[in-house]
Amino acid sequence: TAAPPRLTVIGTGYLGATHAVCMASLGFEVLGVDVDADKIAKLASGQVPFFEPGLPELLAKTLESGRLRFTTSYAEAAEFGDVHFICVGTPQMPGSDACDISYVDAAVGALAPHLTRRALVVGKSTVPVGTAARLTHTVRELAPAGEEVELAWNPEFLREGYAVDDTLRPDRLVFGVASEWARERLTAAFRPVIDAGTPVVVTDLATAELVKVAANSFLATKISYINAMAEVCEATGADVSDLAAALAHDDRIGGRFLQPGLGFGGGCLPKDIRAFAHRAEEIGVGQAVSFLREVDAINRRRRSRTVDLVRELLGGRLDGKRIACLGAAFKPNSDDIRDAPALDVARTMHGLGAYVRVYDPAALDNARRAYPELRYGSSALDVARDADVVVLLTEWAEFRQIDPEAMAKVTAHRRIVDGRHALDPEVWRAAGWEYRALGRSWPDDRRGGH
Ligand code: UDX
């Protein structure tokens, strides 16, 4: 059989850096490409420019093996590679729900003119459906090798914090291809992953693009579904935690992504559902996914409701109050603060005149840089000093371990809002704390009747 293809990975951000390192660790010759010389220099010297467990160790190993190299030159990439993975970002466009695919266009536009022999260009970025079909034409027009160059789509499903595992052992691989040759090339490029038993779905380009946004829309919908139930629970004195636990016993529903609380954030879910709704409207099927607007609205309401809970607990006012915020990252085990519900809540309370102090085990530097107007502290107990209320916003394991007695020694009052259902209300109430959580009743207040 033919030698394994040589791979390039264009765009060495979160997705690209992880993909490049993982593919090299599987034995492929890999060249990472980025226009950002700084990033390339960092990676080449063994530094991962973001927080991802396991990745720095694997980068060191693959660099040492000589199988992984980095460059800023597209000419070098074209010369080197048989299969080129496009891994650049597609952020939300400022002032619009659409996603910005200019980085994808730029990467393909820079690579294609150097493609002088048979090659496969594989998109991994999350894009509006129809992008791959358009890029197929671009590549053919720009590449000296013309029809010899093909385009395929292979969406990426990795989660931050589990990126290495999700890349080496994905739930499935999706190959969107337009020819048998492209299918064979992709199969060769994922040989070790396929041999390890990963199921492969081979389909057309449009379906492959859609799988990604359909999956993320489903996950977002599941979260907003349970959070919508939380709203109903609050109005009826019911408990959404118990409700979710009971639902989860039904295998058809399942308990994953059914955690009620402050809702979803991050660089993917919020932007992907908005871009999907926007794209569906563009192509005349807006009604089919109009529920995604509702999913987004439910998710946003969780943030304002959290602020309301804090205000209620403080007797109706936030101004001048000292508030300890535990968590800044959009989820635990990440330093990512993109569309982070935690910082959204912290900033709103700050805007309403509260004295807000934030602690996060990994995202403090990022938060400080983005929001210098907030105060920051070096530990949970540090920010809780003299606080009128403690608000848990990201469910880091270390917050679950906090001893309510130890915390009560530093705070001004025993009041806590658990925005992530991370704490045991019994334990905290037993220690004399007024405990509040979204979608949960608080029997101590209801004693007098409603
Ligand atoms: C997500 C998808 O899971 C991944 O497949 C895709 O490739 C990229 O987007 P990620 O953004 O890393 O990954 O985070 P994820 O772990 O999915 O969490 C998303 C958000 O949902 C977080 O803010 C999390 O706190 C929230 N969440 C998750 C809930 O509020 N409740 C849940 O039950 C699960």
C-alpha to C-alpha distances, 36 to 77, 303, 423, nearest whole angstrom: 15, 35, 42
Q: Give the Å distance between the CA of 238 and the centre of ligand 1.
A: 26
Give the model's pLDDT for residue 2: 77
Per the annotation, the verdict on 233 as an active-site residue is: no
The pLDDT score that the predictor gives to residue 446 is 46
Count of H-run helices and E-run strands, the chain = 20, 14
Query: Closest by alpha carbon to 118, among 137, 160, 93, 146?
Result: 146
Pick the atom of ligand 1 nearest to 220's CA: 21
Instruction: Tell whether 303 is in a known binding site.
Output: no
Does 157 show up as a binding residue in the annotation? yes
Q: What is the pLDDT of residue 4?
A: 96
Spans in the chain with pLDDT lower than 50? 446-450
Domain 219-446 CATH superfamily: NAD(P)-binding Rossmann-like Domain (3.40.50.720)
Domain extents in the chain? 7-203, 219-446
- Angle between helix 291-313 and helix 205-236 axes, rounded to 10 deg: 40
Would 7-203 and 219-446 be classified into the same CATH topology? yes
414/394 Cα distance (integer angstroms): 20
| Residues in a beta bridge with 24 | none
What does the pLDDT read at residue 444? Answer: 55
Ligand 1 center–CA 274 separation, angstroms: 15
Q: How far is the CA of 278 from the centre of ligand 1 (A)?
A: 21
Which protein residue's CA is at the shortest distance from atom 10 of ligand 1?
Answer: 159
What global pTM score does this model have? 0.95
The one catalytic residue in 87, 233, 268, 325 is 268
What would be the CATH architecture of the domain defined by 7-203?
Answer: 3-Layer(aba) Sandwich (3.40)
* Of 163, 189, 165, 172, nearest in space to 84 by CA: 189
The answer, yes or no, to whether ipTM is higher than 0.90 is: yes
Instruction: Please state whether beta strands 322-326 and 200-203 pair in parallel, antiparallel, or not at all (unpaired).
Output: unpaired
CA dihedral defined by 123, 128, 133, 135, rounded to 10 degrees?
-60
